[in-house]
């Protein structure tokens, strides 16, 4: 067991936490899709691709935050520093793409959120994961990793 | 309910949570959760912990009711 991606392993408590996280993530996904369908039907604010991406992003945030809070996001022996950097880079890159699209006027067309909104949603996911992981790390440190 | 007997048994062997976690193949947070009483381990993990600490299931996990 050396932390290679192909050797990902979670212990029994982590598996239970992840099961709970996936349950709530699934509920959030369904709720998000329903909310998107209803609101888009009323005032057409978003293209379907972006609406679905936003719903998936919300559910991903729920899954990740529950896992992080339960110390079940990263597998055993994971090199966390690298994961933090990857989350931050992917999040900022996606937010950057959304910002560029916004500056070029491609983010909203006729008051409707376009495909670059998916980058915005994904960026929010990864930045949220980074922030949640950083906060959890700080909490653990403040607790002194007490035994 | 906190499992103080587990904590005491571990401390008696001068083991850290991480060392016990490595010995039984779980994360340190899982050992901490068991000691804090916020996670009920499976019988498989209980026996692994007992073996690692040289104790019986009764000594570490049996709760006298009443």
Span A57-88, pLDDT tens digits: 999 999 999 999 999 988 766 677 888 888 99
Chain B touched by A147 (CB under 8 Å): yes
How many separate domains does chain B show? Answer: 1
pLDDT band at B37 (very low <50, low <70, confident <90, very high): very high
**SS3 at position B43:** helix
How many separate domains does chain A show? Answer: 1
Chain B touched by A8 (CB under 8 Å): no
Residue B24 counted as domain residue: yes
pLDDT for residue A144:
60
With 80 as the cut, is the pLDDT of residue B66 above it?
A: no
Residue B12 counted as domain residue: yes
pLDDT band at A1 (very low <50, low <70, confident <90, very high): very low
Mean pLDDT of B18-45: 94
Residue B56 counted as domain residue: yes
CATH of the domain at B16: 1.10.260.40
Mean pLDDT of A125-134: 93
Residue B66 counted as domain residue: no
Q: From CA A107, how far away is CA A101, in angstroms rounded?
A: 5
Mean pLDDT of A77-106: 89
Q: From CA A120, how far away is CA A95, in angstroms rounded?
A: 5
Residue A16 counted as domain residue: yes
pTM: 0.85
Residue A76 counted as domain residue: yes
pLDDT over 70 percentage in chain A: 90
pLDDT for residue B30:
94
Joined together, the tokens standing for residue A122 give 């994904």
In chain B the beta strands, taken as DSSP E runs, fall at: none
With 90 as the cut, is the pLDDT of residue B39 above it?
A: yes
Mean pLDDT of B24-47: 94
User: CB A11 to CB B39 under 8 A?
Assistant: no
Q: Which of A11, A145, A147 is closest, CB to CB, to B26?
A: A11
Mean pLDDT of chain A: 89
Q: Which residues of A touch B44 (CB under 8 A)?
A: 12
Residue A6 counted as domain residue: no
Name the residue range of residue A31's domain.
12-146
User: CB B41 to CB A13 under 8 A?
Assistant: yes
Q: From CA A131, how far away is CA A124, in angstroms rounded?
A: 10
In chain A the beta strands, taken as DSSP E runs, fall at: 108-109, 112-113
Name the residue range of residue B17's domain.
4-61
Q: Which of B17, B25, B33 is closest, CB to CB, to A13?
A: B33
Chain B touched by A12 (CB under 8 Å): yes
Residue A1 counted as domain residue: no
**Tokens 């035994």, located at residue:** A147
* Residue A5 vs residue B30, higher pLDDT: B30
With 70 as the cut, is the pLDDT of residue A147 above it?
A: no
Q: What is the pLDDT of residues A32-48, one digit of tens each?
A: 999 999 999 998 999 99
What backbone phi and psi angles, to 5 degrees, belong to A72? Answer: -130, 15
């Amino acid at each position: 067991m050396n932390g290679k991606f192909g050797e990902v392993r979670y212990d029994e408590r982590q598996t239970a936490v992840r099961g709970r996280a996936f349950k709530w993530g699934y509920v959030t996904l369904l709720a998000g899709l329903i909310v998107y369908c209803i609101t888009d039907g009323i005032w057409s604010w978003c293209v379907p691709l972006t609406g679905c991406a936003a719903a998936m992003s919300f559910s991903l945030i729920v899954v990740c935050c529950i896992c992080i809070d339960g110390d079940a996001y990263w597998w055993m022996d994971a090199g966390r520093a690298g994961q933090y950097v990857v989350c931050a880079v992917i999040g900022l890159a996606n937010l950057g793409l959304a910002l560029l699209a916004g500056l070029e006027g491609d983010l909203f067309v006729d008051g409707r959120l376009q495909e670059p909104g998916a980058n915005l949603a994904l960026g929010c996911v990864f930045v949220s994961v980074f922030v949640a992981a950083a906060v959890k790390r700080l909490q653990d440190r403040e607790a002194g990793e007490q035994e | 309910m906190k499992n103080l007997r587990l904590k005491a048994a571990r401390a008696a062997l001068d083991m850290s949570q991480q060392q016990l976690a490595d010995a039984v193949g779980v994360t340190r947070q899982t050992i901490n959760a068991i000691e804090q009483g916020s996670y009920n381990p499976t019988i498989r993990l209980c026996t692994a912990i007992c073996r690692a600490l040289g104790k019986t299931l009764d000594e570490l996990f049996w709760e006298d009711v009443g």
